[in-house]
A and B are shown apart, each in its own frame.
Chain A
Amino acid sequence: MKFLINFGIVLLLLASLAVWVMLPWYAVAAIAVALLLWLFLTKRGQQTLAVAGVGIAGLPQRWGASSVIVIGIAGVVGVLVAMLAMGEGFQNTLKQTGGKDTAIILRGGSQAETNSVIARDQVPLISSLAGIAKDAGGRAQVSAELSQVINLPTVSDGSDANAQLRGVGQEAWKLRPNVKIVQGRKFGAGLRELIAGQGAAKQFRGLEVGKQIELANQQWTVVGVFAAGDSHDSELWADGEVLASTYQRSSFQSVTVKLAGKDGFKQLKSAMAGDPRLKLDVQTTSDYYAKQSEGLTKLIKILGTVIGTIMAIGAVFGALNTMYAAVAGRAREIATLRALGFRGLPVVVAVMLETMLLALLGGLLGAAVAWLIFNGYQVSTLGNNFSQVVFQFKVSPELLWTGLKWALGIGLVGGLFPALRAARLPVTTALRAA
């Protein structure tokens, strides 16, 4: 019978945890307020406060054991937040790239720039389509571009990694006003010069302004560094025509266009579908880049959650261990309270509060460490275009909040069974043990 009761408690606990993890902040706030009201306004609540006060006052005396809970939970929260911050950072970098007012055109079915081929004679056809904005001179704002993957040595260990070299013309700058030169100057038209995104400049060797690198048996001079605040920071840019001749490319890979007003995208899409000579795909640049991040972001988040879960299980056992020891050490004290007339409930809640307090401290510590170390931490990974994407970890308030909820969840589980045991201790047995 006792087993069945415990089993029921475990099931209820698992269900509670599932709900808890998904609770939004205001629901948690409501629970906290309700708890505070109960503590201060009811007799049982006041008894609980008294017992909890005694327990908390005794914490310094048991600092060794208490710190196990705090640091164990800090470890879980730190790792969890760091992993999720990685996924969030990658996603954020790509989501910031592109916008609703520009569209990217790729060959039908190609999925990514690297896979796409757009013939040169298709570019004028694209320029004449409806839905594309025109500049002051009446010309369609269209940028046909090359995307070449090149090998460059990395700063960290000198091994080759894939970098993306984008071949562009003057139109590219108009379509991406956020791209600014932060050092040096733009490359000259028709010259073997290039500029590096600030992320790429930190990632690869030899990209300082004034340096030369060899690409396809030709010497290219780095004449500037640009900043875009998005995934273009991972790229190198050069004159499209020079790049095409160097790599013997007779086609472009993508065409980026400025959309005309609110309905521009719809007009463009239907105009393109109506022209059998253009078997091309079109989507807004923000949609295109957001899609690029989906697979890897999901993978990182799943991985982080699995690892966090296993660590949380370990931390729960640690907390249980410590709290059982604490309850055992205070058996006589608890029995005395029971003998004096305190009911089981105040004792249960008091032990729970003590554990949750330690868990909260652990969560705060873990979150703080994760934020200090990982927020803004720069790394890179292969993206969908087969080249390096430089991005920074992003420890957002939402992630910190998630970490705290995990911490409190561990505290809940770690404290419940010792608390129940405290409440169930037969008074006479505990007293006799003195």
Chain B
Amino acid sequence: MLKEPNHINEHIRVAKYLDQIFAIFGLLFCFIGLGLILVLLIDLFIDGASRLNWRFFTSFPSRFPEQAGILSAWVGSFAVMFVTAFCAIPLGVGAGIYLEEYAKKNWLTNLIEINIANLAGIPSIIYGLLALGLFVYLLDFGESILTGGLALGLLILPIGITATREAIRSVPQSIREASYACGATKWQTVRHHVLPYSMGGILTGIIIGLSRAIGETAPLITVGALTFIAFLPSPPISGEFPFISFKWLFDSFTVMPVQIFNWISRPQKGFHMNAAAACIVLMVMTLLMNGLAIYIRYRYRKRIRW
């Protein structure tokens, strides 16, 4: 049964029209996210900009919203990040190198690969429960910076491994063959050629991982990051022998997101303003880190042409 010709023309016209409409809608949908982030930032600025001043960064939290600041929170965030990076970077890069360069294709490697994919999908609060059971009670690290840092380190481990693997995979085989031809061993090849060339990708992954960790709240609440801390961790460098002290690892702590959560949960408007101001600081930190990661990826991609 053939349709009438003008029927077919009509059909084609409608189909082309729909196609055009979708092109416009699709583009609009892509920008929903950007629009939301803009609205979010504007809302935060309206609520919190008046609280952003030097004293806000240098005061401890307080019962009075006008006097409260984020000193213990940002110092705590940096201390926790330090432990996180120290734990996640070597483990993540090492695992990535092993899986790309050394692993044979057997059931054990498959198991490890499925497992890493799976770890990336486990909710962050489960890592909090792991840290509570394992580090706080079983190993007796206490509700400390060490516990918090290790929990976040395990959480971002899959990100580090995946980024390392992708970066290493993009190094062409000919580079390795050239290195072997000069008599280098496997490790020398990796150490002197593969790793330096994949540094950009690895760095991007690490920064993205750390930016995720700096905004994480749930696992740290579970391990007991306190929200009212009016002191700083003990200094890592002391005047007496042995000059470097690790006592700060076992101090209790708070971090930026936990402080924000605490302020949001209070009914007073003043604390909501503080929360908005702290949100701005946190957003600026994560957006800067992400921007840096995108920039590094872009630069390395441009500079290296295999």
Q: Answer whether A and B are interacting partners.
A: no
Q: Which residues of B contact A (CB under 8 A)?
A: none
